[in-house]
Amino acid sequence: MSISLVALVVSCSKPQSSDVPGNYRANRAYGVEMLHLRPQGTYEQVFTSASVSRTNVGRWKLSAGDPSLFLYDALIFDDGWGRLASTVKTGVWCLQVEKFAGQVSLVCGESERFDRQKP
């Protein structure tokens, strides 16, 4: 039992700023969204569906307390119910950063998850 607890503590760790940069992908019923987070605090956002292809750039910042990742000037494609929004909005998007067994993921609510892509 104590070995299991030690393994769990070791595999779940708090993400640091240096853990976040990389390429992330979210597969949705209505399209695919990619985030490329650069080490200097900028990002590129690419959304592709059968009818739309959009690219956007902005800044990101990690709030170490939660940890939360803030994407400034992000395009919001989801309507909050797992569907493509009828109007794409621009705003600040907050994603929770999770790190488990060395793998970093970005999570928004229960239905949106960006998994880090291996190089």
Which candidate, 54, 89, 60, places its Cα nearest to that of 72? 60
Distance between CA 119 and CA 115 in Å, rounded?
13
Mean pLDDT (whole number) for 92-119: 88
Residue-wise pLDDT tens digits, 47-76: 999 988 999 999 999 997 888 999 999 999
> How far, in whole angstroms, is CA 5 from its chain's centroid?
28
Range of the domain at 68: 2-116
pLDDT at 43: 98
Sign (positive or negative) of CA dihedral 77, 94, 14, 63: positive
The CATH number assigned to the domain holding 71 equals 2.40.128.360
DSSP category for residue 81: S
Cα atoms in the 13 Å half-sphere on the side-chain side of 4 = 1
Tally of domains in the chain: 1
